[in-house]
Amino acid sequence: MPEWKLCWSSFPKEQIIYIVQVLIAYIVIIVSLVNLCLTTHNSPIWATLLSGCIGYLFPAPTLNNNNNNNNVGEPVLYTPTQ
């Protein structure tokens, strides 16, 4: 794993890239919120940037699939009894 030297220490390359990406996303979120609150022009652009960055930071939702034989999260076919 390649490491980068920063502030007299070595850090994994992936860790630095992740931190920089998150910081940039937070900066875009703050700038978008300020522009949406203070200005009226280009609102769709700022709203799109805001929703895109929030979507980048939050993980996609998933269903928990437990293997306890209770079939949680799986579709159930209803068959009426006679």
- pLDDT tens digits for range 70-82: 555 566 666 666 5
pTM of the predicted model as reported, rounded to 2 decimal places: 0.63
What are the tens digits of pLDDT across the range 22-53?
A: 999 999 999 999 999 998 888 999 999 999 99
Query: Would you state the pLDDT for residue 82?
Result: 59
- Token pair of 62 as six digits: 């998933």
Range list of H helices, the chain? 13-38, 43-57
